[in-house]
Amino acid sequence: MRVTVIGSGYVGLVSGACFADFGHQVACIDSDERKIEALNKAIVPIYEPGLDELVERNLSAGRLTFSTELAPAVREADVVMIAVGTPSRRGNGHADLTFVMEAARQIAGALEGFTVVVNKSTVPVGAGDDVERVMRETNPDADLAVASNPEFLREGSAIDDFKRPDRIVVGVEDPRARAAMEALYRPLYLNVAPLVFTDRRSAELIKYASNAFLATKITFINEIADLCEKVGANVQEVARGIGLDNRIGPKFLHAGPGFGGSCFPKDTRALALTAQEYGSPVRIVETVIAVNEARRDALAGRVIAACGGSVAGKRIGLLGLAFKPNTDDMREAPALALVPALEAAGAVVSAYDPEATEQARSHLPNVIYAGHAYEALDGAHALVLLTEWDQFRALDLARVRQLLREPIVVDLRNVYAREEMQRHGFVYHGIGRPRG
Annotated binding site for NAD(+): 30, 35, 86, 122, 155, 266, 331
Distance CA 261, CA 321 (A): 11
Distance CA 339, CA 347 (A): 9
Q: Is the distance from CB of 115 to CB of 77 less than 8 angstroms?
A: yes
Instruction: Give the Å distances, CA to CA, from 16 to 11, 116, 183, 322.
Output: 8, 16, 16, 24
Distance CA 297, CA 143 (A): 51
Widest Cα–Cα separation across the chain: 75
Q: Name residue 169's amino acid.
A: V
Q: Name residue 311's amino acid.
A: V
Distance CA 414, CA 256 (A): 8
Helix (H), strand (E) at residue 147:
strand 144-148
Q: Is the distance from CB of 99 to CB of 23 less than 8 angstroms?
A: no
Active site residues: 263
Vertex 321 angle, CA 269 and 239, to 5°: 65
Distance CA 246, CA 92 (A): 38
Q: Hey, how many other C-beta atoms are within 10 angstroms of the C-beta on 404?
A: 21
Distance CA 124, CA 269 (A): 11
Q: Is the distance from CB of 290 to CB of 223 less than 8 angstroms?
A: no
Q: Is the distance from CB of 353 to CB of 289 less than 8 angstroms?
A: no
Q: Hey, how many other C-beta atoms are within 10 angstroms of the C-beta on 289?
A: 20
- DSSP secondary structure of 53-77: HHHHHHHHHTSEEEES-HHHHHHT-
- Which residues fall in the annotated binding site for substrate? 152-155, 207, 252-256, 260, 324
User: What φ, ψ does residue 382 adopt, rounded to 5°?
Assistant: -160, 150
* Alpha helices (runs of H) in 10-150, residue ranges in sequence order: 10-22, 33-39, 51-61, 70-75, 98-110, 127-138
Distance CA 159, CA 54 (A): 9
Closest-CA residue to 354 (of 322, 383, 377): 322
